[in-house]
Structure 1
Amino acid sequence: MRILLVLPLALAVASCSARDSAVAEDGRERLVGLRADDLRLCAGVPNLTASSAGGEFWTYDRTPPASGVSAPVPVIGGSLSVAAGSTCRVTFQLVDGRVTRIGYSAESALPLSQNAACAPVVQGCLGMVDRGTVRRE
């Protein structure tokens, strides 16, 4: 009976994670060209910054709250907890004050949702690009 209750919730969590992963991948392409001031406006102040011959690097670390169901599901030899916990590090490379590349380093407990935890970092920026509040060039 518990499995019948937990299975739809687990599928919903997996679906949301897959959607968030797609948002992160969309951001990797659509935010190239964003000005440094606009990036700071939509993503906030980075956790880390560094400079090299390749440009500036702004890094954002995010650990969103775990989502999912933590009800134990009985299986042979114990139980299984269904939850989606993940962390993400997003690094923006900026050259001449504009985003040139975006890299993700993420961990996920769910398959097919590798970069899902990165979505909150880029989601606000994507919304501002869509509304024309900020522009890529």
Structure 2
Amino acid sequence: MRFACLTPFLFLALTACGTAGSRVAEEAQQKLVGMRTDDLQACAGIPTRTKQLEDGTELLSYEQKNGNIGGVNVTLPLVGGFNLAGSGSYCHALFRVAEGRVIGLNYTGDNDDRGGENGVCAPIVRGCLRQPVPARAPVPAPAVSMEPVGR
């Protein structure tokens, strides 16, 4: 009886845990717009592919591929074995860039996880959300004068 009462709460708790990746991916679509391209590459890495578009904007593609997820591997004596596995998941995060800044972020691919949409894409953008300030260029050292001392 007690277990039956707790079942809905258990389901809600498991669902809430499963949506963390989806929240990260959605948050990135809002917070990374306006980020400088240099800063994007400093936190997400070098894009897998780039494409210059006719309107002067550019697409930067980042990819996340996961192997088979879930499933069962069965081995039977004399018959052999077989897999009943899930199909693997992947995400292409497409950053649209204009004048050195991100103007949009879209996700494509088999990128939904158990908790929600685009959850597989979270590892691509998570590092950029953790970087609260833009990457800073090193400050040049002051010029040193080589004049004799004591003149």
The TM-score, its normalising length taken from structure 1, stands at 0.68
What letter matches 2:127 in structure 1? G
Higher alpha-carbon Rg: 2
Q: How does 1:46-125 map to 2 (within 5 A)?
A: 46-52=47-53, 53-65=55-67, 70=71, 85-108=88-111, 110-125=113-128
- The structure richer in helix per residue is 1
- The structure richer in strand per residue is 1
Please state how far the C-alpha of 1:107 moved relative to its aligned partner.
Answer: 1.3
Kept in 2: contact 1:32–1:101 (CA 8 A): yes
What letter matches 1:24 in structure 2? A
Please state how far the C-alpha of 1:133 moved relative to its aligned partner.
Answer: 4.5
User: Identity percentage over the alignment?
Assistant: 32
Please give the alpha-carbon distance, in whole angstroms, between the structure 2 residues aligned to 1:123 and 1:66: 22
Please give the alpha-carbon distance, in whole angstroms, between the structure 2 residues aligned to 1:104 and 1:31: 14
Please give the alpha-carbon distance, in whole angstroms, between the structure 2 residues aligned to 1:60 and 1:22: 18
Deviating above 6 A after TM superposition, structure 1's stretches of 4 or more consecutive aligned residues are 81-84
SS at match of 2:35: coil
Q: Which runs of 5+ in 1 are unaligned?
A: 1-7, 73-80
What letter matches 1:123 in structure 2? R
- CA distance 1:105–1:30, shift in 2 (3 Å): same
The TM-score, its normalising length taken from structure 2, stands at 0.63
SS at match of 1:87: strand
Greater relative CO, 1 or 2 (CA 8 Å, sep 6+)? 1
Please give the alpha-carbon distance, in whole angstroms, between the structure 1 residues aligned to 2:115 and 2:97: 29
Match of 1:5 in 2: none
Please give the alpha-carbon distance, in whole angstroms, between the structure 1 residues aligned to 2:87 and 2:22: 13
Please give the alpha-carbon distance, in whole angstroms, between the structure 2 residues aligned to 1:28 and 1:44: 17
Please state how far the C-alpha of 1:70 moved relative to its aligned partner.
Answer: 4.2
- How many residue pairs end up in the alignment? 114
What letter matches 2:63 in structure 1? D
Q: Which runs of 5+ in 2 are unaligned?
A: 1-9, 74-83, 137-151
Please give the alpha-carbon distance, in whole angstroms, between the structure 1 residues aligned to 2:23 and 2:86: 20
Q: CA RMSD in A?
A: 3.0
